[in-house]
Amino acid sequence: MDFYFNCYAELGLQRYMVSDRPRTDAFAAAIKEALEGGETVIDVGTGSGLLAMLAAKAGAEKVYALDQSAVAEAARETVERNGMSQRIEVVKGNAAGFQVAEPVDLIISEWLGHFAFAETMLDDVIDCRDANLKEGGRMLPCGVELKLAPVGSDVLYMQDGPGFWKKQVHGIDFSHLEGRELEQALAVKTEVHPDDLIGPAKGLFGLDLAKAKKEDVWQSGRVEMEIKHDGELNGFAGWFVAELTPSVILDTGPAHEITHWMQTYFPISPIPVKAGETLEVCFDLTRHPVEERSLLMSLTVGDSSYSFTVG
Amino acid sequence: MDFYFNCYAELGLQRYMVSDRPRTDAFAAAIKEALEGGETVIDVGTGSGLLAMLAAKAGAEKVYALDQSAVAEAARETVERNGMSQRIEVVKGNAAGFQVAEPVDLIISEWLGHFAFAETMLDDVIDCRDANLKEGGRMLPCGVELKLAPVGSDVLYMQDGPGFWKKQVHGIDFSHLEGRELEQALAVKTEVHPDDLIGPAKGLFGLDLAKAKKEDVWQSGRVEMEIKHDGELNGFAGWFVAELTPSVILDTGPAHEITHWMQTYFPISPIPVKAGETLEVCFDLTRHPVEERSLLMSLTVGDSSYSFTVG
């Protein structure tokens, strides 16, 4: 826990997020759209304070900007320097336990992690919502959906993935490490290109963040994956689409400008596939049993099952 | 400690190192050159087992391949599959406490971390050397030198560094974060291009690994930096040059093919400079007081001092 919040005290990490243009521009547009003037707002995990200040600029009357990390102190100074101290109250503390006197109109939070749910920060946002959001109040983002698409990629699997071990290195045979690395089942945060996909993405599930309960994140299900190209299926690409407002969508998929979330590659032992084929894929997303704030994403295709750590 | 060795059990990390071509090719060439046939060898931190197997291929009669991580088990299987079990003994355990019956001719170790000394693995290599290297035996690498060069780079400082905060973001002024981020003084592992440098590199100090003591890593000193271009000094680039054998040099500087070590960027508050000028830079490299296996690199130029964490 301490390590988690400590890392957000690093201004280099804050800069990494603020300088992610598709992310920051989408939140800026959504905040502008969501506020008419006079609203009360909570920003959960304010970090640099940017979203709270954009809410104040968009007309919010009062913004509670919460952060548990030491960055709260820097955010407070930024708020002062921008002349917004009257309207923004930076609160250093735990969002899950925060209780405001009057329920608020809007809760903003950029709680999104790797494959949306890594870091499991949504738990705190939901607690904060249940304690502080007015009846009929809104969440920003208001929805999130997970996507999964079939991958057949020489770069992801052979060059930068377990398939690397197939080739000898200076005459040494490492080929048995391919299977061992697949068994370790680490999901990789990387850039997936549209050409790496051999079929369209399917939605796994979506959440309505005005209503979702904590346990709604942990879902299992089944999707039919269509294959559009002959070749080899050697994994899946995952990402999220966040609905910031009904008209401002932040899509972190391969067809969109890259963000700091990139995409998630789940490598699997290659399976020959043919165009027109349909594959049934079962998934099961759970909390990681050992690594706090990580996810366990189980994927089953044919006879093979993998339990991927998404950290 | 456990976390440190656990991470090397990940085959993805082993692959990341083995697939670093300049690194792997240089070690392969050096091992070939260092062995004539019939020697005894220790490989400290064998990981995938690659360097131990290259030593056996180059004629070593007996190789002790040591690793404290669970990867030792995979290395043992690779050795077997390559028919080298007679000559390579994989030992899972601590190199610092390893004691062989007969002193060996050569100790190989790819102990190099970020800015050479991060991870502080050299301590274990030195203990292993003092306990096991024959009088007149050799070390591979046999030497290492740290380099530092003056940087004047818009990309490193303004776009991807503390200077980012100078520009408003959606009308919000974050400029005070530039100084705060500089105070946090995190050295950044990144790719430095030759064009980012505004003067030649200077050697800080070198170690002869046949003789170096653990405390020899922690040195301070003073270098004169020549400035070749008018502009702004906004940091320093650091890297290491490893002498694997007297004729095989692994130079991880910006003028050479990029390796997984990349370079280290130390951002400082910009100082206007003129071509022909000479700047005195004082350095002091110490163990990090808090973060195990990290370094503290103090740099003083003019009136300004920075204590960088190199993790």
Question: Measuring CA to CA, which residue among B180, B172, B166, B168 is closest to residue A88?
Answer: B172
Question: How far is the CA of B187 from the CAs of B163, B202, B209, B218, in angstroms?
Answer: 15, 18, 25, 17
Whether residue B116 contacts residue B203, with contact meaning beta carbons closer than 8 Å, is answered with no
Q: Encode pLDDT of A137-177 as tens digits.
A: 999 999 999 999 999 999 999 999 999 999 999 999 999 99
B21-34 and B11-18 helices, crossing angle to 10°: 70
**SS3 category, A26:** helix
Nearest to A74 among B57, B74, B177 (CB): B177
Is the sign of the CA dihedral A93, A96, A102, A108 positive or negative? positive
Instruction: Give B230-246 pLDDT, tens digit per residue.
Output: 999 999 999 999 999 99
Q: Pick from B253, B246, B155: which is nearest to B200 by CA?
A: B253
pLDDT value of position B6: 76
Any bridge partners for residue B148, and if so which? B202, B238
Q: Predicted confidence band at A5 (pLDDT cuts at 50, 70, 90)?
A: confident
Q: Cβ–Cβ of B82/A54 closer than 8 Å?
A: no
Residue B239 forms beta bridges with which residues? B147
Per-residue pLDDT, B190: 95
pLDDT at B35 (0 to 100): 98
Binary contact (B184, A11; C-beta < 8 A)? yes
| Percent of all residues in chain B with a pLDDT value above 70, rounded to a whole number | 99
Q: Which of A51, A73, A168, A170 to mutate to test the interface with B (most CBs of B within 10 A)?
A: A170
pLDDT at A154: 95
Q: Tell me: the pLDDT tens digits for A176-226? A: 999 999 999 999 999 999 999 999 999 999 999 999 999 999 999 999 999
Q: Following DSSP, what letter does each residue of B137-173 receive, concatenated?
A: EEEES-EEEEEEEEE--IIIIIISSGGGGGS-BTTB-
Q: Which residues of A touch B186 (CB under 8 A)?
A: 10, 12
Q: Which of these, B22, B74, B23, B24, lies nearest to B49 by C-alpha position?
A: B74
Query: If we measure between CA atoms, which residue out of B296, B183, B194 comes closest to residue B237?
Result: B194
**Using the beta-carbon criterion (under 8 Å), do B50 and A15 form an inter-chain contact?**
no
Q: Using pLDDT thresholds of 50, 70 and 90, give the confidence band for residue B158.
A: very high
A63/A40 Cα distance (integer angstroms): 6
For A180, which of B11, B57, B173 is closest by C-beta distance? B11
Which has the closest alpha carbon to A142: A30, A258, A61?
A30
Residue B3 has pLDDT above 70, yes or no: no
3-state secondary structure of A172: strand
Confidence (pLDDT) at B267: 98
Lookup result for tokens 């998934």: A283
Asked if B170 and A54 come within 8 Å (Cβ–Cβ), the reply is yes
pLDDT at B269 over 60: yes
Instruction: Using the structure block, give the residue that is written with the tokens 């994994």.
Output: A235
Q: Residue A7: pLDDT band by 50, 70, 90 thresholds?
A: confident
Residue A233: HSE in the Cβ half-sphere, 13 Å Cα cutoff: 25
Q: Sheet with B133-140: list strands edge to edge.
A: B88-92, B62-67, B40-44, B104-109, B133-140
pTM of the predicted protein model: 0.95
- The whole-angstrom separation of Cα B229 and Cα B232 is 9
> In this complex, do A12 and B184 lie within 8 Å of one another by their Cβ atoms?
yes
Q: Is the pLDDT of residue B7 over 60?
A: yes
- Inter-chain contacts counted by CB atoms under 8 A, chains A and B: 99
Asked if residue A2 has pLDDT above 60, the reply is no
Distance CA B147, CA B283 (A): 12
Q: Do A177 and B14 touch (CB under 8 A)?
A: yes
Span A277-301, pLDDT tens digits: 999 999 999 999 999 899 999 999 9
Contact assessment for residue B90 and residue B63, using Cβ atoms and an 8 Å cutoff: no
- Give dist(CA B303, CA B311) in Å, integer: 26
When scoring B158, B172, B180 by the number of chain A Cβ atoms within 10 A, the one with the most, hence best to mutate, is B172
Question: What is the 3-class SS of A180-221, one letter each residue?
Answer: HHHHHCECEEECCCHHHECCCCEEEEEEECCCCCHHHHCCEE
Q: What is the secondary structure of B70-129 as a DSSP string?
A: THHHHHHHHHHHTT-TTTEEEEES-GGG---SS-EEEEEE---BTTBTTT-THHHHHHHH
- Test A78 with B53 for CB contact under 8 angstroms: no
- Residue A87 near residue A60, CB atoms below 8 Å: yes
**Residue of A12, A169, A188 lying closest to B18 (CB–CB):** A169
Closest among A274, A265, A302 to A159, alpha carbons compared: A265
Rounded to the nearest integer, the mean pLDDT of chain B is 96
Q: Which one is predicted more confidently, B292 or B126?
A: B126
Residues A244 and A110: their CA atoms lie apart, in Å, by 10
Per-residue pLDDT, A3: 62
Q: Is residue B1 pLDDT above 60, yes or no? A: no
B215 phi and psi angles, rounded to 5 deg:
-75, -10
* pLDDT of B8: 83
Question: Among A12, A53, A160, whose Cβ lies nearest the Cβ of B186?
Answer: A12
**Which candidate in A2, A7, A14, A15 is best for mutational testing of the B interface (most B CBs within 10 A)?**
A15
Q: What is the per-residue pLDDT across B173-213, written as a single tens digit (0 to 9) for each? A: 999 999 999 999 999 999 999 999 999 999 999 999 999 99
- What are the residues whose beta carbons fall under 8 Å from the beta carbon of B169, sequence distance 6 or more? A18, A24, A50
Residue of A nearest to B11 (CA): A181
Which residue has 């690779």 as its token pair?
Answer: B78
Using alpha carbons, select from B232, B290, B239 the residue that is nearest to residue B260. B239
How far, rounded to the nearest angstrom, does the alpha carbon of residue B46 sit from its chain's CA centroid? 16
Mean pLDDT within B31-57: 98
Query: Tokens standing for A247?
Result: 């008209």
Mean of pLDDT values over A13-22 = 97
